[in-house]
Amino acid sequence: MDRLLSDAEIIERVFHHIDNNTTDLGDEVWREPVQNYRCEKRFAAELQMMRRLPMPFCPSAAIRDVGAYVARISAGTPLIVVRGQDRVVRAFRNACRHRGRQLVEGNGCTRSFVCGYHGWAYRLDGKLAKIPHEEGFPQIDKRELGLAEVAVTEKGGIVFVTQEDEISDGALDSLPDMFLEEQFVFDAKDYLQPFNWKLNQEAAMEGYHIKATHSESFYPYGFDNLNVVENFGRNSRITFPFRRIEELRDVPESDRDISGKVTYANVLFPNVLIAVLSRHTAMAVAEPVSPFETHMYTYRLSNPGNDGSSEALSEARYDADFVAETGLMEDLATTRSIQAGLDSGANTHFTYGHFEKAIVHFHKTLADQLSRAGFAD
């Protein structure tokens, strides 16, 4: 399914599931070898694959202004994404062309990139602008020593980077708009977690765990094992309805507003979750560090209609903090526990059933893309 259901269709599907005590089901069971969460060879292949895919890097809203940049490691490579004077987004390898020192870290805004080692300076378009004491480098042509550029695309409110020759075309064709121009970033964080990046992705792909894992956080407001699951391209959208969706039962279809009645969890292959919640939208990037460690980069954005007033922003922060301090902490604890359990030797495979349709789609897609990149188990 490449066309996502409309809000009206989602509402009707949820009502059908409530009335019949059902949920969306997948067509097959998938057995994933536990070794695939621990193997260094497999991990290296996953990074190589990621360098050949358009990888979600950050929301466009994170670099809205001229000179705004985000610098972090993506698929093992230090990169900078920046908006230039011409408002075009560019991506560069984060290394001075003189002696290789990284130019910047984290998020910020600048007029130029100046190396902290010897002061070589680069314009926002990557061109080498200045070499201090240039007479000491008589043979250098500055036109040949601009920052090393990588491919970048803006689509649907997201910046994507592709580091090497792409392994397939049309990866972004089925992607709808994830963010609108009016949305803005009000918080950004990053932190390390001791688990494999794939385990993190799986935690957001099913509602089978809601009652057991989130008994006092999400479950009192939602349902156990009741989801609408849609695959679009390599990606999935999982709809988590709130009990208050029942308020729409007697509302004419043309007047129904789904806002605040569901959470849309968009899983963008391979390593990004965009969750549209009641008062804010969260984008989380699970950046692989090793088979046993993941660097999480999170952005919290306003929802459409938030005018940026102190009251509206306070509501967005309250919503974001509730999610971060309850459900997210529970998912992270569970994922850390799974990673620790990998060493027990209890399982040779993990089994994903019909309630875990999106996870099956994820692993089938991952296997296919690894095969395209030349990796064979």
Q: Please, what is the average pLDDT of the chain?
A: 96
Q: What is the pLDDT at residue 364? A: 97
186-228 pLDDT, tens digit per residue, is 999 999 999 999 999 999 999 999 999 999 999 999 999 999 9
> 160 — phi, psi (to 5°)?
-115, 140
- With bands split at pLDDT 50, 70 and 90, how would you rate the model's confidence at 171? confident
Fold classified for 55-162: Rieske Iron-sulfur Protein (2.102.10)
Inter-CA distances, 178 with 74, 172, 236, 307, 376, Å: 21, 12, 13, 19, 33
Domain ranges in the chain are 7-52+177-372, 55-162
In terms of CATH, what superfamily is 7-52+177-372?
Answer: Naphthalene 1,2-dioxygenase Alpha Subunit; Chain A, domain 1 (3.90.380.10)
Nearest to 14 by CA among 362, 264, 323: 264
- With bands split at pLDDT 50, 70 and 90, how would you rate the model's confidence at 1? very low
Amino acid found at 260: G
* 55-162 matches 7-52+177-372 in CATH topology: no
Helices 357-372, 40-51: inter-axial angle, 10-degree rounding: 80
Amino acid found at 375: F
Say what the alpha-carbon torsion angle 349, 369, 373, 39 is, to the nearest 10 degrees.
Answer: -20
CA 358, CA 363: separation in Å to the nearest integer? 9
229-264 pLDDT, tens digit per residue, is 999 999 999 999 999 999 999 999 999 999 999 999
302-347 pLDDT, tens digit per residue, is 999 999 999 999 999 999 999 999 999 999 999 999 999 999 999 9
- With bands split at pLDDT 50, 70 and 90, how would you rate the model's confidence at 24? very high
The pTM of this model reads 0.95
Residue 118 has pLDDT above 80, yes or no: yes
- With bands split at pLDDT 50, 70 and 90, how would you rate the model's confidence at 167? confident
